[in-house]
């Protein structure tokens, strides 16, 4: 991408401003207060304003100094790796580690372009078994194994 939208610092600056604005909006209802009795809102609002100004500086600086171009990115790896975590989080309580483990590995594995079906399944099962042995039995952590089958 060429032009100003392809500049790392411009996009970064705008993103920082957006975060600052969001934080300020979230903090809008919190009472402020003077220096002797700072309220809960004083710091969040103050920091949000400061962050917004800094973001604007970053965006402005990109107008004069092009800096680095925005790097290419593809949605595949983030989607699947983060998806694997979310799937694990969703599955661990109702279905237990027995299901959540292989599932997370299976979803995550597709983030790599060299994924192999059979290997992933075998590896996911073995790795989960290892983790159950380590975390559940050796360390005694209260992580659910298979509530629907074993009751814990």
Q: How far apart are the first and last CA of the chain?
A: 53
- Tell the smallest beta-carbon distance from residue 149 to other proteins (Å): 19
* Structure-token pair, residue 20: 């600052």
Least distance between other proteins and beta carbon 58 (Å): 6
Between helix 42-64 and helix 8-27 the angle, nearest 10°, is: 160
- CA–CA separation, 16 vs 94, rounded Å? 38
Do residues 52 and 21 touch, judged by C-beta distance below 8 A? yes
Q: How far is the CB of 61 from other proteins (least distance, A)?
A: 7
CB of 136 to other proteins, least distance (A): 10
CA dihedral angle for residue 71, residue 73, residue 78, residue 79, rounded to 10 degrees: 150
d(CA 103, CA 9): 38
């Amino acid at each position: 991408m060429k032009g100003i939208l392809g500049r790392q610092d411009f996009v970064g600056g705008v993103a920082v401003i957006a975060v600052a604005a969001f934080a300020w909006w979230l903090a809008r209802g919190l009472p402020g207060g003077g220096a002797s009795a700072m309220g809960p809102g004083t710091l969040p609002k103050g920091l949000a304003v400061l962050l917004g100004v800094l973001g604007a500086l970053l965006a402005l600086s990109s107008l004069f100094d092009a800096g680095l171009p925005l790097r290419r990115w593809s949605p595949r790896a983030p989607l699947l790796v983060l998806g694997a975590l979310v799937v694990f989080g969703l599955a661990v309580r109702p279905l237990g580690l027995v299901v959540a483990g292989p599932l997370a590995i299976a979803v995550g594995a597709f983030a790599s372009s060299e994924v192999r079906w059979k290997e992933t399944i075998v590896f996911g099962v073995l790795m989960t078994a290892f983790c159950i042995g380590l975390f559940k039995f050796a360390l005694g952590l209260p992580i659910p194994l298979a509530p629907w089958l074993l009751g814990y």
